[in-house]
Amino acid sequence: MREHHSSAQHQSTLWKRGGILLGIGLGGFFDGIVLHQILQWHHLVSETYHPTSLRNLEINTLADGLFHAFTWVASVIGLFYVWSGTRGEHPEWSTRAFLGTLLLGWGGFNLVEGLINHQILGIHHVRPGPYWLAYDIGFLVWGLLMVVIGYAWMKQQNRSAA
């Protein structure tokens, strides 16, 4: 019986870890696709290499591509963890708990990316211009809100599984 509980706990850890990695990937893809490409507010290193020349635009495009490669790898690893965690016998998991892992990962991505790239390194801002700080803070608040909601939804699953 103890071995079964340990295996179920291990599987639960795998799918939660996978959901968080998928959330990181989704957050990165949203950032890269919506903010970098569709809205064209910034590129990964647009404050360091202003995209006002062809050479700087090439550098920004390469940096964006490497960023997308990172988010793709996080997503693929996340899928494998979710797949591994959902095989075999396990307690029932709720959609809300899974969505909680995605929100936790996405929000964590926003917080780390926003603090490091926007504030500490200053390599880009969410939307450069006169209100750049408001956009940067909004990005951080949005990330924090996702982390809080995601964590709460995951904790609800833990209480109902106990």
Helix or strand or coil: residue 134?
Answer: helix
| pLDDT range class, residue 91, cuts 50, 70, 90 | low
Q: Residue 137: its pLDDT value, please?
A: 98
CB 102 within 8 A of CB 24: no
Q: Residue 156: its pLDDT value, please?
A: 83
Q: What are 71-80's pLDDT values in tens digits?
A: 999 999 999 9
Least confident of 12-21, 109-118, 125-134: 12-21
pTM assigned to the model: 0.88
Q: What are 37-77's pLDDT values in tens digits?
A: 999 999 999 999 999 999 999 999 999 999 999 999 999 99
Residue 138, judged by CB atoms within 10 A of its CB (0-12, 13-18, 19+), counts as middle
CB atoms within 10 A of CB 105: 28
**At how many degrees (to 10) do helices 132-161 and 95-113 cross?**
150
> Domain coordinates of the chain in residue numbers?
2-161
* Alpha-carbon span 110 to 31, nearest angstrom: 9
